[in-house]
Chain A
């Protein structure tokens, strides 16, 4: 998807730049500039704001809505069905007992309730300890709390591979590998989380394959 996107022009959220493109439809996200959106609407442009989904239903709703806006309902429906099929397949194969896991990112960040990672972990057949500890959204977790929760597997999503910093060094803390009985942290690409899309099925399948046999 990133490769296909490269052939399109980048805009920098500047009003003059947008006007000169004479768009028929403007897509915005929850983090877009509110004032700019209002101004574009005032000038008679259609602006559609998409929420950042944190669950499968949200992703599917976004796809359906986008398909409608583009007049491609059929393709949208297809995409949603394919995605549901793959996810249902994983749900059917969930183990009887869900092992304990959590996401651990540089600077001790983890994904609690209402995050894509939480949804993906649970669909794939894991328990998300961060959510069970009462963490909401993306927030840091104390390393002692993490160890006390006794995870069986840790996942991380490298944001900038091949760079080093104190934040990233936290991931190689020896206690993290010892608590999971020597199991190495598993890397799940960051691209699945930056914004929810049909590729979430890839992440869910990868998480499912990581389940202990």
Chain B
């Protein structure tokens, strides 16, 4: 087999990390006003921070952090899901986890629940994500083919999106209806540090659960029976990954809305670079997802002020053609 790029894991991760760090910095620089970033960062340490320090610490930093953590979550969960289901089209967006999470968050936000405590928002997201993921998995059956799984995902996605529209139409707030787009396309604009802190616990917990699933996923590439005989318990692995995805995706999406295609595209792009090894793919996809979302968010900000394009529009514009390419490719395999 031809080996296009013989990178060791270390080289790949450090290369991706460098790109990520550069994009993160760039993301802090891009905004509607040019501000002296280093002075702003220094000023945040003052007792009464200056205006530029406020812009840095309360507007740009949370935006960059939310893009980084959400992108990483989607990339990582996409890789874990594709490994677990051994299905190239599995991803939080297509399997319904993301729209389920958005539905859960919408239930909490618009109907007075979030006045109890802000943490009900990610809780709703987590429950919604878990319910949608489990539902698709049960609908498709244990050894579902690619097509069945995607069909089940389409059905649950459509149901979740319809319920989101319905709930937002019924919500008491006069602003709710206009926010349908926000939940369906996803946006990381206009968030505060509070929002980042709200999503952080669930995201970190989800990541933590996914660490160490790599070896089981590697074993799973040899088939379920082989993995079983090697001592890996599949039901336990499945639960662990589903719960991890619900925690991480549910928390992130409850803040950003459903951002499409990152979880699908990133693992595919990186898989050849990690020798098709799921264990190596996990970390690489996390960094790749963060890179993709940060880059998309920077692009969104480069549009003239006032256009307010949602970041999910951009990721879908990139992701949808790629999805078609995957379908065509998988058709060639079947035929």
Chain B residue with minimal CB distance to A181? B48
Bound-complex Cα distance A163 to B176 (A): 10
| Residue contact A175 to B192, C-beta cutoff 8 Å | yes
Interface presence of B190 (CB below 8 A): yes
A165 with B175, Cβ < 8 A, contacts A143-B59, A148-B33, A170-B190 known: yes
Instruction: Name the contact of B176 in the complex, choosing from A143, A165, A174 (C-beta under 8 A).
Output: A165
| Residue contact B305 to A142, C-beta cutoff 8 Å | yes
A173 with B58, Cβ < 8 A, contacts A166-B109, A178-B49 known: yes
| Residue contact B182 to A150, C-beta cutoff 8 Å | no
Helix, strand, loop or mixed for chain A's interface? Answer: helix
Interface presence of A144 (CB below 8 A): yes
Interface presence of A179 (CB below 8 A): yes
| Residue contact B55 to A148, C-beta cutoff 8 Å | yes
Interface presence of A95 (CB below 8 A): no
**Binary CB contact string for chain B from 159 to 203 against chain A (1 if under 8 A, 0 otherwise):** 000000000000111111011001000000010111000000000
**147-191 of chain A: CB within 8 A of chain B:** 147-148, 150, 159-160, 162-168, 170, 173-175, 178-179, 181
Chain A residue with minimal CB distance to B108? A164
Residues on B with beta carbons closer than 8 Å to the beta carbon of A99: none
Instruction: Name the contact of B174 in the complex, choosing from A147, A163, A170, A173 (C-beta under 8 A).
Output: A163
Residues on A with beta carbons closer than 8 Å to the beta carbon of B193: 174
| Residue contact B59 to A107, C-beta cutoff 8 Å | no
| Residue contact A148 to B51, C-beta cutoff 8 Å | yes
Bound-complex Cα distance A166 to B32 (A): 21
Q: Tell me which of B13-21, B110-118, B278-286 binds A.
A: B110-118
Interface presence of B313 (CB below 8 A): no
Instruction: Name the contact of B31 in the complex, choosing from A144, A175, A178 (C-beta under 8 A).
Output: A144
Residues on A with beta carbons closer than 8 Å to the beta carbon of B52: 148
A107 with B175, Cβ < 8 A, contacts A148-B51, A178-B58 known: yes
Interface presence of B4 (CB below 8 A): no
Instruction: Name the contact of B192 in the complex, choosing from A163, A164, A168, A173 (C-beta under 8 A).
Output: A173
Candidate in B172, B173, B306 with the most chain A CB atoms within 10 angstroms: B173
Bound-complex Cα distance A142 to B301 (A): 12
| Residue contact A166 to B182, C-beta cutoff 8 Å | yes
| Residue contact B109 to A165, C-beta cutoff 8 Å | yes
Residues on A with beta carbons closer than 8 Å to the beta carbon of B112: 162, 164
**102-138 of chain A: CB within 8 A of chain B:** 106-108
Residues on B with beta carbons closer than 8 Å to the beta carbon of A179: 51, 54
Instruction: Name the contact of B32 in the complex, choosing from A106, A144, A168 (C-beta under 8 A).
Output: A144
**87-141 of chain B: CB within 8 A of chain A:** 109-110, 112, 114-115
| Residue contact A168 to B173, C-beta cutoff 8 Å | yes
Interface presence of A145 (CB below 8 A): yes
A163 with B59, Cβ < 8 A, contacts A142-B305, A144-B32 known: no
Bound-complex Cα distance A198 to B260 (A): 51
Interface presence of A140 (CB below 8 A): yes
Chain A residue with minimal CB distance to B176? A165
| Residue contact A144 to B178, C-beta cutoff 8 Å | no
Nearest 8 pairs of A and B residues by beta carbon: A175-B58, A163-B173, A167-B175, A165-B173, A165-B175, A163-B172, A144-B32, A142-B32
Residues of B bordering A, CB below 8 Å: 31-33, 48-49, 51-52, 54-55, 58-59, 109-110, 112, 114-115, 171-176, 178-179, 182, 190, 192-194, 305-306
Residues of A bordering B, CB below 8 Å: 106-108, 140, 142-145, 147-148, 150, 159-160, 162-168, 170, 173-175, 178-179, 181
